[in-house]
Structure 1
């Protein structure tokens, strides 16, 4: 099968799923950490949180306003902090 036909079939499948003519074989959901809530629980400022995360205050603001989403290692660290707030204190000490 040519790449064109594979793409065409994929797009037709996507349309069928969107119009509910067919169920999706799988659904992937990504949960993005709520940075503002995490900071509120920790009772730390944006500047303190940015320093502990090794990023800028502007990045923290972007995450909190959902203009950008944390990715890669930052997303994993935030998920860890969300599950275990005590981890933040260890991170902030280094």
Structure 2
């Protein structure tokens, strides 16, 4: 099967899932991180957290005020930091 055929099959499957005709093979969900609490537990500033996560202070502020929620890789990284706070120090060191 070439790339186009794989893509077409994947999209057809997505349509069937959306219509409710087929169940997804896997669903991954992450709890929305309480960024303010995580940052307070780490005892770091918004600027320090932003630098370690490779994002802006404005993004940290928007997460903390719940205007936006961390998604994708940011959500995974925050979950990892919450489970293992020492991981933040590793991120901050690079």
TM-score, normalising length: structure 2: 0.69
Aligned to 1:92: 92
Once the 2 structures are TM-superposed, how far is the Cα of residue 29 of structure 1 from its aligned partner? 6.3
Aligned to 2:53: 53
Moved over 2 A (4+): none
Kept in 1, the 8 Å contact 2:42–2:85? The answer is: yes
Unpaired runs of 5+ residues, structure 2, are 1-14, 21-27
Q: Deviations over 1:35-58 (max 9, x none)?
A: 000000000000000000000000
TM-score, normalising length: structure 1: 0.69
> How do 1:6-85 and structure 2 match up within 5 A?
30-85=30-85
Aligned-partner Cα distance in 2 for 1:61–1:77? 17
Instruction: Name the SS for the 2:82 alignment partner.
Output: helix
Aligned-partner Cα distance in 2 for 1:90–1:29? 25
Count residues in correspondence. Answer: 71
Unpaired runs of 5+ residues, structure 1, are 11-27
Once the 2 structures are TM-superposed, how far is the Cα of residue 31 of structure 1 from its aligned partner? 1.0
**Higher Cα Rg: structure 1 or 2?**
1
Kept in 1, the 8 Å contact 2:30–2:75? The answer is: no
